[in-house]
Amino acid sequence: MGPGGLRRWLSSRAPAPRICVVGSGPAGFYTAQHILKFLATGFLCSTPSCPAFLPEHHDLAQVDIYEKLPVPFGLVRFGVAPDHPEVKNVINTFTHTARSDRCAYYGNVTVGRDVTVGELQQAYHAVVLSYGAEDNRVLGIPGENLSGVYSARAFVGWYNGLPENRDKTDITDCSLAALACSKVKRVWLAGRRGPLQVAFTIKELREMINLPGTQPVLNPADFTGLENAVKDAPRPRKRLTELMIKTALEKHREKAVMAQAAVPRQWGLKFQRSPQEVLPTADGMRVRGVRMALTRLEGSGDSAKAVPTGDMEELECGLVLSSIGYRSLPLDPAVPFDTQHSIIPNNLGRVMGVPGLYCSGWVKRGPVGVIITTMNDSFDTAQSVLEDLQEGVLDVSVSKEGFGAVGSILRSRGIRPVSFSEWEKIDAAEVARGKAAGKPREKIVDPQEMLQLIGH
């Protein structure tokens, strides 16, 4: 919006912006937080070169967050490992945002079913889709549906108490009991490419190396010549590779000296292996192994491609976890969707061809990065919303009812949303149950039990 447009907006005292965010994970909360921050200050832009202001009634701007589960926080609650509680501290920031007078949380509302995206667009000046990646990619190989084959997403959801995975389930009692009596003695991590392309971090590698009663099994031959190859690599990649080399050599020497020593558990890395088929037991019911193609690399660095050599090998195992990534799903026929990349087509978070519709997080850019990546990405989308308010792309001259309109639609369809204060009752109950068991919390994993707890 130029100076003239801004003056007209200021003089017209246009209705306050009404914005809704779909999804209450990190992407949703960070988007809401950034929008509210700059609407609260009166600034539409965060850069010194953009001194545009909102009208005096900017403090009436409202951001509503919709979530399909009764409980908020997405992957912070359901995706962070129980032994990394420090990562969950961002929940404190999200809670502060949700308690703002200008923010409201509505759980137990499935957008695309209980209310359509078109109905949200009628009720709000801007709609931001931040619903993440709720499905997993598939290997697409024979035998993938055998008993004993699971996605990493299902496994993580199980031990984190994700409602849809609660029948397998900070770690729930039943999953803790199952893992405590686990007979798993050896875990192989197999990847199509080599040591220079691994996706884990040095922190994760250190934690694996230092697992009590567990021995890493790394083949020194896999790292031949890599000392020179990583000399000019970025520092994180260099340090990670050097630690793998050091571990491979040390453990190889230890093995030679203590060949007869009994190690309770082992884990190892198998590079340049591409799964071709999950092999069944004799009765055809369960997994007994995986047939893998050996690969060679074409190219170098992150752009290297794995090409089958023609050689094959079989790896015996009784459990297969496919950890090849999450993927987003289409939410509503009215929303464009790139099925090849499983994202919503967008430009800086603006959904292509649909003014007033935005996206952030994994549904915007794909399931990559950690929470800090999502934070920066969400701030970028929020900035696009703020710029469109400034430029007049979003027509705030027309009053929007926000949840006033959506609430009526939900009531007519028999849907009762869960407020943030009701979530806090569920939270208190989980913390009390955890205290009784000597844990930070014991998650309630059944949505119906959650709703009964708050009188729904």
Take residue 317 and report the two structure tokens written for it.
Answer: 């195992």
Q: Find where tokens 């003056």 sit.
A: 7
One domain for residues 45 and 185: no
pLDDT value, residue 10: 45
- The string of DSSP letters for 403-449 reads HHHHHHHHHHTT--PBPHHHHHHHHHHHHHHHHHTTSS------HHH
Q: Do the domain assignments include residue 336?
A: yes
pTM above threshold 0.85: no
At 322, the amino acid letter reads: S
One domain for residues 298 and 165: yes
401-428 pLDDT per residue, tens? 999 999 999 999 999 999 999 999 999 9
CATH code for position 110: 3.40.50.720
357-395 pLDDT per residue, tens? 999 999 999 888 788 899 999 999 999 999 998 888 998
pLDDT value, residue 172: 64
One domain for residues 19 and 162: no
Q: Do the domain assignments include residue 425?
A: no
**Total count of domains within the chain:** 2
Structural domain range at position 390:
3-135+327-418
Q: Do the domain assignments include residue 312?
A: yes
451 half-sphere exposure, CB direction, 13 A CA radius = 15
In which residue ranges of the chain is pLDDT below 50?
Answer: 1-4, 6-11, 43-58, 169, 256-260
The Cα–Cα gap between 57 and 371 comes to 33
Q: Is the dihedral of CA 424, 426, 430, 436 positive or negative?
A: positive
115-160 pLDDT per residue, tens? 999 999 999 999 999 998 787 788 888 999 998 888 888 887 777 7
CATH code for position 208: 3.50.50.60
